[in-house]
Structure 1
Amino acid sequence: MSFFGELYLRSTLPFLSEETTAKEVAYLARSFQDLTVPGPVVDLGCGHGRHASRLNTAGPLAGRIIGLELDALSLAERLPGFPAVRADLRSLPFGTGSLAGAYAWYSTLFVFSDEEHVELLREVARSLRPGGRLVLHTVPYERLASQPEASFSTYLPDGSLLEEESRFDAARSRDQGSRRLTLPDGRVLSGQYAIRYYPLADLIQLLEFTGFSIRWVHGGLEGEQPSAASTDLIVGAELRHG
């Protein structure tokens, strides 16, 4: 089965606390509050819409958010308050120069091949207006490299058993893992994933190669500088003119 479908939705939701969501939404609101380019801002891989529903309701992006998600279940169960389209990240259904901004959280854009990542970012660049803004959230390469193997087993609040193992290949910059979710009714959801974590210099090079200029790099939701202890890597970029 596809990893980024029911398995991901059911196994991830219990860990997304109200406090975490509120902090991430506040960060995104600050990231776009000075955006002068008119037009909509797309949540790339919006899932069930925990960011999009709030950003579209109040604050600097109110009324401007569009969600984009491929998983039908996530869209069916999404929170109210924002429009959404079902589409693949690698083929965006937006006209050239039709968007003012875009954001993607939790390494959403980097679950494909390196070649597809280039094409995906070019698609984002094509869809943005000059001066449009892109905000990307991921995990620092160094953090994965320092803890290359992980495994856990835990029961979720609904009684489901979640089991996962992963290993980070530093040479290939890919975290590969498997996840198994045994639901209370006995049904089992399982899948594998591979996520690319670029070293910061490589990520900046990738963004610049696909038409962006870097505006900021943060190591956390308070805008702190990246460090060896950072749990987040957040990059703000702008589409170059010309």
Structure 2
Amino acid sequence: MSFFGELYLRSTVPFLSEETTAKEVAYLARRFEKLEVPGPVVDLGCGHGRHAARLNARGPLADRIIGLELDALSLQERLPGFPAVRADLRSLPFRTGSLAGAYAWYSTLFVFSDEEHAALLREVARCLRPGGLLVLHTVPYERLASQPEASFSTRLPDGSLLEEQSRFDAVRGRDEATRRLTMPDGRVLSGHYAIRYYPLADLTRLLEATGFSVSWVHGGLEEERPSETSTDLIVGAMLRCTRDPKQ
């Protein structure tokens, strides 16, 4: 089965606390507050909309959020309060130069090949207006490289058993894992996923090659500088005012 469907939704939502969501939403609101470019801001891979619903309700992005998600179940169960479209990240259903900004949380953009990641970022750049803002959240490459293997088994609040094993290949920069969810009724959901994690220098080059200029880099939601102990890597990148003729 596809990993980024019911398996991901049922096994991830229980870990997304109210406190965590509130802090992430506050961070995004602060970073988009000074955006002067008019127009919508898209939540790339919005899932069930825990960010989009709040950002669209109040603050600097009120009534400006559009969710984009491929998984039909996530859209069916999404929180109310924001419009959403079902589409693939690699083929965005927006007109050229129609968006003011975009954001993607939890390495959402980096589940494909390196070539597809470059094409995806060019697609985002195509849809943004000059000066538009892209915010990316991921995990520092160094954190995974220092602990390349991981496994866990835990019971979720509904009684489901969640099991996962992962291994990070530092040479390829890919974290590959298998996740298994045994539901209370005995139904089993299982799937494999791979996520690409770039060293910051490589991610910066990728963004610059696809039309962006990095504006800031944070190691956490308090906007601290990245360090060897950072659990997050958050990058803000502006679309350059002069579009690359190759895009």
User: What is the TM-score with the length of structure 1 in the denominator?
Assistant: 1.00
Partner of 2:6: 6
- SS of 1:54's partner is helix
| 1:64 matched residue in structure 2 | 64
Q: Distance in 2 between matches of 1:236 and 1:192?
A: 29
State the shift of 1:136 in Å: 0.1
Matched residues in 2 for 1:111 and 1:48: separation? Answer: 18
Structure 1 consecutive aligned stretches of length 4 or more whose deviation exceeds 2 Å: none
**Is 1:118 paired with 2:118?**
yes
State how far apart, in whole Å, the 2-side matches of 1:127 and 1:233 are. 24
Q: How far off is 1:80 after superposition?
A: 0.4
SS at structure 2 position matched to 1:175: strand
Matched residue, 2:181: 181
In structure 2, what is the equivalent of residue 96 of structure 1? Answer: 96
Q: Shift of residue 145 of structure 1?
A: 0.2
SS of residue paired to 1:56: helix
Percentage of matched positions with identical amino acids: 85
CA deviations over 1:129-185 (Å, ceiling 9, x no partner): 000000000000000000000000001000000000000000000000000000001
Distance 2:241 2:39 in 1: 17
Residue type of the alignment partner of 2:47: G
Matched residue pairs, number? 242
Pairing of 1:1-242 with structure 2 (within 5 A): 1-242=1-242
- One-letter identity of the residue aligned with 2:218: H
C-alpha displacement of 1:116: 0.2
Structure 1 unmatched ranges of 5 or more: none
Give the match for residue 245 of structure 2.
Answer: none
Q: CA deviation at 1:44?
A: 0.0
The separation in 2 between residues aligned to 1:220 and 1:151, in whole angstroms, is 24
After superposition, the C-alpha distances for 1:27-62 in whole angstroms (9 at most, x for unaligned) are 000010000000000000000000000000000000
RMSD over aligned CA atoms reads 0.3
User: 1:115: how far off?
Assistant: 0.3
Distance 1:173 1:113 in 2: 11
Inter-partner Cα distance in structure 1 for 2:31 and 2:127:
19
Normalization by structure 2: what TM-score?
A: 0.98
Note the residue ranges of structure 2 that are not aligned, 5 or more in a row: 243-247
Q: 2-side partners of 1:133 and 1:115: how far apart? A: 22
SS of the aligned residue for 1:151 comes to strand
Aligned letter for 1:70?
L
In structure 2, give the amino acid aligned to 1:138.
T
